[in-house]
Amino acid sequence: MPIYEYQCARCGNEFESFIWSAKDQERLACPRCGATDVRKLLSSFASRGSLSSVLSSGCGTGGFS
C-alpha cells in the first residue's frame, strides 16, 4: 500500500495518505481545511541505518566492491 505526501493549495498543510485505488485519489481532501485542491509532493525514500553508513557504502555500487 503506497503512502504519498501531499500539500494543500488552500492552507499549505503537508500530509500523508494511503492510496489504495484511483477512487481514493479522487476523494482526497486536506485533513486540516477539507479542500480537495492538493498536489502530490516529491518525497524521499526511507532507509534503515545512518546517513554516514549510506554515504560510505559507495551509493552507486549497491554496497559491493
pLDDT in tens, 5-50: 999 999 999 999 988 888 888 899 999 999 999 999 986 665 566 6
pLDDT at 65 over 50: no
Question: Rounded to whole angstroms, what are the CA distances from 37 to 17, 24, 49, 51, 54?
Answer: 14, 14, 36, 35, 36
pLDDT of residue 23: 84
pTM listed for this prediction = 0.61
